[in-house]
Amino acid sequence: MRIGFIGLGNMGGPMSLNLLAAGHTVTVHDVREEAAAEHVARGARWAASPAELAEHSDTVITMLPTPRHVERVMLGEGGLLAAMAEGSTWIDMSTSVPAVADRVRALADERGIRVLDAPVSGMAHGARAGTLQIFVGADPEDAARQRPVLEAMGDPERILHVGPHGTGYAVKLMINMLWFCHLVATSEVLAVGARAGVDLEVLHRSLVASPANSNFLQNDALSVLNNGDYDESFAMALACKDLGLAIDLAREVGVPVELSAVVEQIYRRGKAVFGDLAGEMIPMKLYEDVAGIELRLPAREASGTPGQVRP
């Protein structure tokens, strides 16, 4: 299949390489031409604009930072949608919101252009390994038709058709909202327990063995606890963007989210203190700093697979 891919960053770079490896004919575009060097070396075609990319594509995938970027690429001057052929398909794999895709779909439908939202979990490691979780919001026939394309980038067992248009975005935002809440709650508990004099290793083991255990505590937190790795492959700027979008969605559907609103503020503080490019787990360090301790397990306790966290 002829696939166009726009947005060759931490995620889109390796995802589009996996499409090439699966034998698809791939055309790529990014505002940073240098991001495409490896793709071109492996046989991809470079397109200087979204419109040029559309000429060579039956299916176009976007993997862009924010809804604003998606809107600009799709509907802005010289945008993708106007150049897409009748009957072609757009899959947005960015963590975005239904509103932008709805605006695109309103214009796309009359030209027979199919639209899917298919955001992902599994971070840059999963993007490289081709094991992403993918949450597809679309008509069932479109989801089925595009499955071979998605399987080149994700784990077939974890490519889920989650409902109609927009539901893929919603599932992805709820995953991130819950995970960031886990991170903040876990940081508080570990900092307080350690300051209260409990050995961190004993505290961690006790919590894991208790009804309060979580996947975050048992696995994902080890990235920091074992290695001091706050996961720079997912930047705080994007983490804060996701929390903001999740809270906007909650407002739109009329559900108060007091807890997530506080977590968003803590994340924004982390971004203000440590910068846009700091890793998504850096809010743990806010608690380390305020408690005056480094939350680290002794080396002999190292276990699990640090670095293989989400999103």
Report the candidate in 18, 137, 136, 11 with the shortest Cα–Cα distance to residue 3. Answer: 18
Closest CB to ligand NAD among 32 and 300?
A: 32
Strand, helix or coil for residue 65: coil
Q: Where are the alpha helices (DSSP H) in the chain?
A: 12-21, 37-41, 50-55, 67-75, 80-83, 98-108, 123-129, 140-145, 147-151, 167-195, 200-208, 215, 222-227, 236-253, 258-274, 283-291
Q: Which is nearer to ligand NAD, 11 or 282 (CB)?
A: 11
Among the listed residues 172, 241, 271, 285, the single catalytic one is 172
Which structure tokens are listed for 94?
A: 């960015």
Binding site for ligand NAD (CB under 6 A): 6-12, 29-32, 35, 63-65, 69, 72-73, 94-95, 120-121, 123-124, 233-234, 238, 242, 311
Closer CB to ligand NAD, 175 or 207, in the complex: 175
Q: Which is nearer to ligand NAD, 6 or 295 (CB)?
A: 6
- Measured distance between the N- and C-terminal CA atoms of the chain, rounded to whole angstroms: 28
* 285 flagged as catalytic: no
Nearest to 245 by CA among 84, 66, 109: 66
In angstroms, what is the minimal distance from the CB of 196 to ligand NAD?
Answer: 34
Q: How many residues does the chain have?
A: 311
Residue nearest to ligand NAD (CB): 9
- 28 has which bridge partners? 5, 46
Provide the minimum distance between the beta carbon of 106 and ligand NAD in the complex, in angstroms, as a whole number. 21
Amino acid letter, residue 118: A
Nearest approach, Cβ of 192 to ligand NAD (angstroms)? 29
Nearest approach in angstroms of CB 68 to ligand NAD is: 9
Closest distance of CB 253 from ligand NAD, Å? 21
Of 80 and 203, which CB lies nearer to ligand NAD in the complex structure? 80
Interatomic CA distance for residues 272 and 275, integer angstroms: 6
Catalytic machinery residues: 172
